[in-house]
Structures are given as C-alpha cells and as structure tokens.
C-alpha cells in the first residue's frame, strides 16, 4: 500500500489569489492523479502527473488554471490559480500501485473555500 | 445516463442491520473499486475487484462481470459505518477511474 499526505488539509482563500497543494507519498510511484470534488458531486479527474513529463489534463481543465509539478517519484503539487468561488472544492491526489495491480490510493484531501 | 450508477443515493439504517449498496456500470472495465469517504473528505479504498467476491471484516464486495454489477454489503452495521460509499470503475480502454455519484449511508444507534 501507499500512504499519502496532503498539505494544507484545508484553507480559506480570497478570490483572485492562488493556492498550491502538496501531495507526498511514502513510496515511489509512477502515476499520480489530481481530482476535484465539488460540493455534493462525485470526483472529477483534473490531470495525470507522471514524473519527468508534462501533466496530461482532462477536458475542461487547463494548465494555466491548474499548473502541476512532479519533480520526483514521491511528490507533486497542484496550484489553483486566480481562484473564484466556483473553485471551492475538495482536491485529492491519488497514486496507482507500482505493481500494476490497478490498486489506487487516495490522499486525505484539501478542502478549499474561496470567498 | 452515467457510465457508473449507484443505488440507493441515500440510505438510513438502524444499528445492526444488513446493508447493501449496488453499483451498475455500462463500460468495459479492468477493475472496480469501492471507496469510503467520511465527512472530512478523505477517501479510503475498501476493495478493488476484478472478479468474484472479497471480504474484509464486516464488509463484503461482490462483482458479476457478465451482468456489469457490483454490490457492497455491510453486516451488523454500526454508526461508525456512516459515510459516503463510492464505486469507481477502472475503464478498460482509458485506464481511468469513472466514479459513481456515491451513496450516503447513515446508521442510527
């Protein structure tokens, strides 16, 4: 298994500002994923972050709004830029097991409120 | 129609009751996950299934590949089981998780 931590766990931000969320894994993993969960909704994949390459964004998400870094096999950041109240969500990172068993592990989430 | 459908959306049970949550999917999958989300937002992976049945404590998950259906059962339910339960299908073609909308379970003492 993989143990994932996220920082911050929650934050309240002013509109127009940016927040960077950190995701740390206790083991080396190839694929990391960033999800958004808007209030009352299920999870939506923002992007897939592989070490050593540009993140791959899903339809409706762009790099200028959600830049992602993946400097090594245990760490990634997601920045939510120029925030608006519509960005208020839980942001979760997850990782896929390196043994390709389809297991995915999720972080505790970052609860973001934009005022 | 969503590719992954869950039922019921909301479920209230009395402590000790046997609970079943259903998940149907319409896409080809490599595996199916059952996840638990508590009010704080963090998600715990309960099961990952590609066939048959798995059991962990009071939780049992089954999957019928032919019928494209999975169930999560909770025996002897307890108030601490109160959470949102989410099924997520790992798409065979895309290798990405497709999430159901979740089932909000409340177990009353």
pLDDT at B91: 81
Chain B residue with Cα closest to A104: B45
pLDDT at A30: 84
Residues of B in contact with A44 (CB under 8 A): 99
pLDDT at A31: 87
Pairing of strands A43-50, A56-57: antiparallel
Chain A residue with Cα closest to B38: A108
Tell me the DSSP string of B60-73: EEEEETTTTEEEEE
Chain A residue with Cα closest to B4: A42
Query: Does the beta-carbon distance from B101 to A42 stay under 8 Å?
Result: yes
Mean pLDDT of all residues in B73-97: 90
Q: Residues B46-57: pLDDT tens digits?
A: 999 999 999 999
- Residue A2 to chain B, least CA–CA distance (Å): 11
**Tokens in use for B4?**
């992954």
User: What is the 8-class DSSP label of residue A32?
Assistant: E
pLDDT averaged per 10 residues in sequence order, chain A, 115 residues: 91 97 93 92 92 89 96 95 96 81 84 96
In chain A, how long is the greatest CA-to-CA distance?
42
Residues of B in contact with A104 (CB under 8 A): 33, 45, 48, 90, 97
How far apart are alpha carbons A45 and A4 in whole angstroms? 17
How far apart are alpha carbons B35 and B37 in whole angstroms? 7
Write out residues 5-64 of A within 8 Å (CB-CB) of B.
Answer: 37, 41-45, 48
How far apart are alpha carbons A20 and B8 in whole angstroms? 36
pLDDT at A100: 58
pLDDT at B17: 97
């Amino acid at each position: 298994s993989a143990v994932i931590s996220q920082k911050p766990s929650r934050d309240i931000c002013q509109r127009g500002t940016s927040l960077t969320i950190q995701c740390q894994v206790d083991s080396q993993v190839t694929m990391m994923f960033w999800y958004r969960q808007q209030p009352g909704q299920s999870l939506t994949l923002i992007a897939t972050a592989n070490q050593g390459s540009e993140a791959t964004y899903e339809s409706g998400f762009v790099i200028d709004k959600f830049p992602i870094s993946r400097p090594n096999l245990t760490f990634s950041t997601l920045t939510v830029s120029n925030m608006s109240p519509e960005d208020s969500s839980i942001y979760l990172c997850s990782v896929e097991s390196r043994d390709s068993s389809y297991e995915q592990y999720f972080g505790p989430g970052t609860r973001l409120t934009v005022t | 129609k969503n590719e992954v459908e869950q039922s019921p959306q909301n479920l209230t049970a009395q402590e000790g009751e046997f609970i079943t949550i259903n998940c149907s999917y319409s896409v080809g999958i490599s595996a199916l996950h059952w996840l638990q989300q508590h009010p704080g937002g963090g998600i715990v992976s309960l099961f990952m299934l590609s066939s048959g049945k798995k059991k962990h404590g009071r939780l049992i998950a089954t999957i019928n590949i032919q019928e494209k259906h999975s169930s999560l059962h909770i025996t002897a339910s307890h108030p601490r089981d109160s959470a949102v339960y989410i099924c997520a299908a790992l798409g065979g073609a895309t290798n990405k998780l497709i999430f159901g909308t979740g089932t909000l379970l409340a177990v009353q003492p």
